[in-house]
Amino acid sequence: MRKPAMQDRLVWQCASLLLGYPDPKRLADAEGLLVHIKGAQAERLRRTARALGCAGPITQATDYVDTFDLHRRTTMYLTYWTAGDTRNRGTAMLQFTAAYREAGVAPPNDEAPDYLPVVLEFAASVDPSAGRRLLIEHRLAIDVLHQALVDADSPYQHAVAAVLTTLPATTDTEARRARRLAEAGPPMEAVGLQPFTLTVPPRRPEGARRSAR
């Protein structure tokens, strides 16, 4: 896996600021970073920043909640699409927690470790290689998020698109899998008791025992 370039790290940090809950300081910091980002990535990020800048604080907050909190398809919790609301999701999130601790930082106290803005900030400012690996391993969830934002004509789609340009190109197989996942939804928890393994052989009928001799 290639070492992340400084441009990638700037994109991740800027996108983290733009995809977090909006406030004037975050937007100002993002615009400050845009000065150092070049090309199509800068234009994508700038489109999100421009849309947020044109909206007032109340509109920004309302749109953000409506986009990311009220619709599951646009969730930014990356393990949701791979583990759903199942018991496996806790295990999946441990991957993020372990990466943060191995890099010498504590997992966030006020947000889940798989929250995309958190992962992007970690990749930008703490451990670019480990952060890039997390993003690549959860590329499917980011693809689904991006498509949902495109379908909703959300200005946040451009910031997510910029993040995707820092990752390896999607294969046809991955693209089809993302479309299927978006249509079918995340895994669901099985209903009822989980299967278990008997530690003692089941009692067989008397006739069966005799015939087996």
Instruction: Identify the pLDDT of residue 87.
Output: 61
What distance, in Å, lies between the first and last C-alpha atoms of the chain? 60
Q: What is the pTM of this model?
A: 0.81
C-alpha–C-alpha distance, residues 142 and 157, integer Å? 11
Domain ranges of the chain: 6-183
pLDDT at residue number 192: 36
Return d(Cα 52, Cα 62) in angstroms, integer: 12
Stretches in the chain below the pLDDT threshold 50: 189-213
- Angle of helix 116-125 relative to helix 6-19, nearest 10 degrees, comes to 150
Q: Which residue has the tokens 């290689």?
A: 129
d(CA 121, CA 184): 30
Residues 15 and 49: beta-carbon distance below 8 Å = no
Q: How far apart are CA 65 and CA 183, in angstroms?
A: 23
The pLDDT assigned to 191 comes to 37
Q: What tokens appear for 120 in the block? A: 């992007």
